[in-house]
Amino acid sequence: MGVITWRRQLSVGQPSIDEDHKHLIEYLNELDAALNARSFMPVRVAKILMKLLEYTQQHFAREEKIMQAVHYPKFEEHVRQHHEAVRTLSELSAVFTRDPTHQNAERIYTFTADWLVHHIIMQDTQLTPYVRGVWV
């Protein structure tokens, strides 16, 4: 695992979406730090996961509102991807809640980091021509 760094390729060009993505990356980096700490503390990981889950859902709602405002043509597919990610993240979190091991926490980190970076680069950047400069 490693720290995720914000880079230009991750920018969608809409300030609130980009700021949300930066915050999500911060939470993932907090989770990475908790996983790489000398001693594994499930309570610390659980607190970070709660923040990550809550913020993810808030971000998706904001992003979807913006997509609706600009009449994004791939809105339905994009929302479906959001729902699938939340479902998977919720399932992984439930496993961690039942069995708060380092391995189960790593599964959450790996899924979320891979999904987020891939989703931003492959999907969210397709929003750029529709949302650049939009303030919603």
Q: Is the torsion defined by CA of 102, 23, 120, 92 positive or negative?
A: positive
Tell me, what's the pLDDT at 4? 87
When pLDDT is averaged across residues 80-106 and rounded to a whole number, the result is 94
Residue 45 CB burial class (10 angstroms; 0-12, 13-18, ≥19): buried
Q: Is the pLDDT of residue 134 over 70?
A: no
Q: Residue 106 above 70 pLDDT?
A: yes
CA pair distance 15, 128, nearest whole angstrom? 11
Please identify, in words, the CATH class of the domain defined by 13-130. mainly alpha
